[in-house]
Structure 1
Amino acid sequence: MSENCPVCQHQLIAQQDAFHCVECQRDFAAQPICPSCGQSLQVLKACGAVDYFCPNGDGLISRKSVIFKPLIESL
Structure 2
Amino acid sequence: MDALCPHCHRAMLWKLGNTFYCEGCRKAYQQIALCPDCNKPLEKMQACGAVDYFCQHGHGLISKKRITLQYVEDKLS
TM bucket, shorter chain: 0.7 to 0.9
Give the unaligned 5+ runs of structure 2: none
Distance (Å, rounded) in 2 between the aligned partners of 1:18 and 1:70? 9
Q: Secondary structure at the match of 2:28?
A: strand
Structure 1 runs (4+) deviating above 3 angstroms are 14-20
Distance 1:15 1:70 in 2: 13
C-alpha distance in structure 2 between counterparts of 1:28 and 1:70, whole Å:
6
Q: Is residue 12 of structure 2 the alignment partner of residue 11 of structure 1? A: no
Q: Please, which runs of 5 or more residues in structure 1 have no aligned partner?
A: none
Aligned twin of 1:56: 57
Counterpart of 1:69 in structure 2 is 70
In structure 2, relative to structure 1, the CA distance for the partners of 1:62 and 1:35 (3 Å cut) is: same
Deviation larger for 56-65 or 23-32: 23-32
Instruction: Give the residue type in structure 2 aligned to 1:38.
Output: N
User: Normalized against structure 2, the TM-score is what?
Assistant: 0.71
Specify the code of the residue in structure 2 equivalent to 1:13. Answer: A
CA RMSD of superposed structures (Å): 2.2
Q: 1:72 to 1:61 in 2, by over 3 A?
A: same
Partner of 2:28 in structure 1? 27
C-alpha contact 2:28 2:73 (8 A) present in aligned 1: no
Q: For residues 53 and 15 of structure 1, do their structure 2 counterparts lie closer, same or farther at Cα, with a shift above 3 Å needed?
A: farther
Where 1:65 maps in the other structure, the secondary structure is coil
Matches of 1:15 and 1:33, distance apart in 2: 21
